[in-house]
Structure 1
Amino acid sequence: MAVIDRLKFISRRLGERLWLRPLVFCMLSIAAVFIAKAADSMNLGWSIPSINTESVEALLEIMAASMLVIATFAVGSMISAYASASTSATPRSFTLIIADDVSKNALSIFIGSFIFSIFALTAAKNDIFREPGLAALFVLTVFVFGVVIITFVRWVDTIARLGRVGASVEKVEAATTAAMKLRRKAPAFGGIPTESRHMQRTAVYAATVGYLQHIDIETLQAWAETVNVRIVVAALPGTFADPGRALAYVTHDTASTAELDLKAVTDAFVIGTERLFEEDPRFGLVTLSEIADRALSSGVNDPGTAITIIGSLVRLFVLWAEPTEDLQAPKCDRVEVPLLSTRDMFDDAFTAMARDGAGTVEVMLRLQKAFKALSCLGDSAMREAAVAHSRMALARAEKKLELPEDLALVREAAAFSSTNTHMDDAIATK
């Protein structure tokens, strides 16, 4: 299971590469020509129509001449869209933009069609095909033409939206939603929440510098069972790891762990040069916050985008607060993993917006309404975080808003935080 988990992680990383899918389509294009040749060995008899060789060659020449131009145009358009997304939104959204399936499929089909036309044209001009193979090649060529036309029309619609801020926000929100759903099903990645009280423990430090991208919990469980210890994970995906940062602690009730080979523990932590969205919901919140913060800068001055992102953040936190019905039972009882802190997630999502939008009344009003909505979800940790951030946002607004009427509106919207504070004091007194 540990090997399968690692292979899945590697396959997902390969799937994000732009070159992989075009390579697969090129191989399929070459295979299609061999499939057409295989039709020559079939006894199809009178059912094969008579196809003129010149007509097939003409179609293939048109395809060969146009597909390379279209593929070059596609690459240029994609690069422009990627650059626009990085500058108008945030560079952190680049990995999601480049992973767009429609664009990758379009580029792959254009390049694959070019390879198919060149390979098939060479075979046809050298009289490789008899009548059945030529008929099969004609059908395949028409089919490829149809796929190219449909793909091009669909791709033009997608590429026109790809570099827009709205498209970037949608992709980041979708990636964060997926990460949150994954974490809600397995809050401790299949381990158990941190509860260790062991006195003897040995720290395991990172061997490289970078961001923690993945933790192979099943490998840790297998090693812990073999040497009869417990492992307390000290760093979650998204943590910046360095040689002085403990990734985990190996603990034992009675014996020392000084003689253990800890390399297996270190190898279970995958460290890379950048954060990934897949297992790190906080990275999605940070990215959305960066997009909103850039929109609030004096050079852009787009509070509407910030308000849109506040709506996205409310949806995400509502999802996070929902009760989980398909919660997975812990499978790795020797590995303890800390749970995500709701307060830390609020800090990632709202601190920058509240700081840089403090002088914009419409943003402050929307923020206070968001905090009020989140405080009513029935989650005590979320209510405490919402109240605390509401009070901090109000304090910032009081320093930046100059018009008394604007400040009065924000104070009125933030009145719920004072009510919640009084309720908490009353509960504590009882």
Structure 2
Amino acid sequence: MLPTLLRRVHEFSRRLIVRVLLIALCSVLAIVVAKLLGGLIPFGLKDRIGADAVDHILSIIANSMLTVTTFSLTVMVASHQNVSSLWTPRAHQILLQDTTTHTVLATFVGAYLYAVITIILRETEVFKGEELVVLFFVTLMVVVLIVVAIIRWISHLELLGSLIETSGRIERKAQEAYDMRCAYPALGGHVLGPEVPDGAEEVVSETTGYVQQIYQDRLQEAAEEAGGQIHLARPVGAFVYRGEVLGWVTGEGGAEALRRHVSVGSLRNYVQDPGFGLLNLTEIAQRALSPGINDPGTGVDMTGRIARILLSGAVEQDAKVVHDRLYLPMLDRRALVQDSFGAILRSGADHPEIVGAVAAALTALGRHEDPEIAGAAEDLVGRIGSGPAGETLEQSV
């Protein structure tokens, strides 16, 4: 239960509104602290720090933060639109998880709320005497946070939405998912067999969409309580229609648990689905190879990134079974190779540099310790040699 809870909390915390609310809450707490600590200030210090100094700084923060926040939001929206139009619409999700942008915007909004609330309290004379000294130093701390956020934002804007930064993020996400699936090819459960268990209840999907995530620990707990097993028919990343078979369960109450703890939504997810990250890189390569853009260099770069991910590890054939009551589809490594390099080959068959880069990547993958990846790479190499891409390769050599 704890891993699922932590995963859902992590997903929830990556939303912009959550960080804005947290920073805003911290600003309110800072005002409360300033009020409570007023009695600890040595007598006479208030004469050196007047109320005018505090009011002037608060006015500057309130006026500037609203402008900076509006400008930053405009930049963020423009970057999202550029990434969707220039690289691939699927890459838009990677920007929605940009913690640096979220934290910076949350800091600006929080500072603005702090200044506005404090100005209101000052006008009602809530802060008096030594409390103004504490408020002055708290305000200085807010100014420091704003300066740090602006420096981070300027540094972050240098690459925000660029091909290098976007493809690098996608590669890291795909690498994390691939490494996890190599260690747990069936997500910690048994590999799903071809036969349906006797007496199993068929569970159909109540929604139409992609299988986004599987919460294995909750499914394991439900299967233990029901005294049965759960067999999931659809792998992460698969598209399932309403009324199609989602899996089979044995025992009481397993059907509802299967629907509740298998997330089905309109978009694919990077967490457990390395194929989605590879799809993003493939689409970037395909768009770069379109006649309107004609950028084979980007196609070669994406080919190398995909090969780097697949060459980084192999599925552990004797992976430890953590959830002994779950039977889940194994990671389809052949599809990872064929869907990515096959699509790039179709789009770049007329570009010798693309055919050469793909051939080199497939040759390296043909020596992979994973027989599924090696076999898929060898099959594609055979297609290059016998198809139009093979003629292009010979001409380039």
TM range (shorter): over 0.9
72-81 vs 222-231, which moves further: 222-231
Provide the rounded CA distance (Å) in 1 between the counterparts of 2:270 and 2:69: 29
Provide the rounded CA distance (Å) in 2 between the counterparts of 1:139 and 1:328: 56
Match of 1:15 in 2: 13
Provide the rounded CA distance (Å) in 1 between the counterparts of 2:13 and 2:339: 28
Match of 1:368 in 2: 359
C-alpha distance 363-38 of structure 1, shift in aligned 2 (>3 A): same
Matched, 1:274 2:253: no
SS in 2 for 1:161: coil
Match of 2:152 in 1: 154
Provide the rounded CA distance (Å) in 2 between the counterparts of 1:395 and 1:250: 46
Match of 1:250 in 2: 249
Provide the rounded CA distance (Å) in 2 between the counterparts of 1:45 and 1:138: 16
- How far off is 1:9 after superposition? 3.8
C-alpha distance 328-114 of structure 1, shift in aligned 2 (>3 A): farther
Provide the rounded CA distance (Å) in 2 between the counterparts of 1:46 and 1:119: 27
SS in 1 for 2:323: coil
AA of the residue aligned to 2:380? H
Match of 1:101 in 2: 99
AA of the residue aligned to 2:297? G
Match of 1:391 in 2: 382
Match of 2:222 in 1: 223
Provide the rounded CA distance (Å) in 2 between the counterparts of 1:44 and 1:330: 64
AA of the residue aligned to 2:347? D
Correspondent of 2:372 among 368, 381, 390: 381
Correspondent of 2:294 among 287, 297, 301: 301
- How far off is 1:73 after superposition? 0.4
Query: Aligned ranges for residues 85-234 of structure 1 at < 5 Å?
Result: 85-195=83-193, 197=195, 198-234=197-233
C-alpha distance 15-318 of structure 1, shift in aligned 2 (>3 A): same
C-alpha distance 394-41 of structure 1, shift in aligned 2 (>3 A): farther
| Structure 1 residues 190-240: Cα deviation after superposition (integer angstroms, max 9, x where no partner) | 211224754544321101111111223233333333444332211111111
- How far off is 1:47 after superposition? 7.0
The answer to whether the 8 A contact 2:226-2:254 is kept is no
AA of the residue aligned to 1:248? G
The answer to whether the 8 A contact 2:213-2:271 is kept is no
C-alpha distance 167-49 of structure 1, shift in aligned 2 (>3 A): farther
Match of 1:428 in 2: none
Match of 1:337 in 2: 328
AA of the residue aligned to 2:267? E
- How far off is 1:186 after superposition? 2.3
TM-score, normalising length: structure 2 = 0.92
- How far off is 1:263 after superposition? 2.3
C-alpha distance 304-263 of structure 1, shift in aligned 2 (>3 A): same
Correspondent of 1:290 among 283, 294, 297: 283
SS in 2 for 1:262: helix
299-308 vs 138-147, which moves further: 138-147
Match of 1:407 in 2: 394
Provide the rounded CA distance (Å) in 2 between the counterparts of 1:203 and 1:27: 47
SS in 1 for 2:202: strand
The answer to whether the 8 A contact 2:183-2:316 is kept is no
Provide the rounded CA distance (Å) in 1 between the counterparts of 2:211 and 2:390: 38
Provide the rounded CA distance (Å) in 2 between the counterparts of 1:53 and 1:328: 66
- How far off is 1:39 after superposition? 1.3
Match of 1:54 in 2: 52
SS in 2 for 1:359: coil
Correspondent of 1:357 among 345, 348, 358: 348
Provide the rounded CA distance (Å) in 2 between the counterparts of 1:195 and 1:323: 18
AA of the residue aligned to 1:320? G
- How far off is 1:143 after superposition? 1.8
Provide the rounded CA distance (Å) in 1 between the counterparts of 2:216 and 2:354: 41
Provide the rounded CA distance (Å) in 2 between the counterparts of 1:66 and 1:180: 44
SS in 2 for 1:301: coil
Provide the rounded CA distance (Å) in 1 between the counterparts of 2:75 and 2:360: 40
79-88 vs 343-352, which moves further: 343-352
Provide the rounded CA distance (Å) in 2 between the counterparts of 1:187 and 1:41: 61
Provide the rounded CA distance (Å) in 2 between the counterparts of 1:158 and 1:400: 44
CA RMSD of aligned residues (A): 2.4
SS in 1 for 2:16: coil
SS in 2 for 1:67: helix
Provide the rounded CA distance (Å) in 1 between the counterparts of 2:370 and 2:258: 35
49-58 vs 271-280, which moves further: 49-58
SS in 2 for 1:203: strand
C-alpha distance 131-63 of structure 1, shift in aligned 2 (>3 A): same
AA of the residue aligned to 1:389? L
- How far off is 1:391 after superposition? 2.0
C-alpha distance 207-151 of structure 1, shift in aligned 2 (>3 A): same
SS in 1 for 2:293: coil
Count of equivalent residues: 396
AA of the residue aligned to 1:242? Y
Provide the rounded CA distance (Å) in 2 between the counterparts of 1:49 and 1:245: 75
Unaligned runs of 5+ in 1: 252-256, 411-430
Provide the rounded CA distance (Å) in 1 between the counterparts of 2:388 and 2:31: 68
C-alpha distance 237-31 of structure 1, shift in aligned 2 (>3 A): same
The answer to whether the 8 A contact 1:286-1:349 is kept is yes
- How far off is 1:46 after superposition? 6.3
Correspondent of 2:338 among 320, 324, 347: 347
C-alpha distance 152-85 of structure 1, shift in aligned 2 (>3 A): same
AA of the residue aligned to 2:92? F
C-alpha distance 35-216 of structure 1, shift in aligned 2 (>3 A): same
AA of the residue aligned to 1:18? L
SS in 2 for 1:334: strand
Provide the rounded CA distance (Å) in 2 between the counterparts of 1:158 and 1:223: 44
The answer to whether the 8 A contact 2:46-2:132 is kept is no
Match of 1:66 in 2: 64
The answer to whether the 8 A contact 2:384-2:390 is kept is no
C-alpha distance 223-119 of structure 1, shift in aligned 2 (>3 A): closer
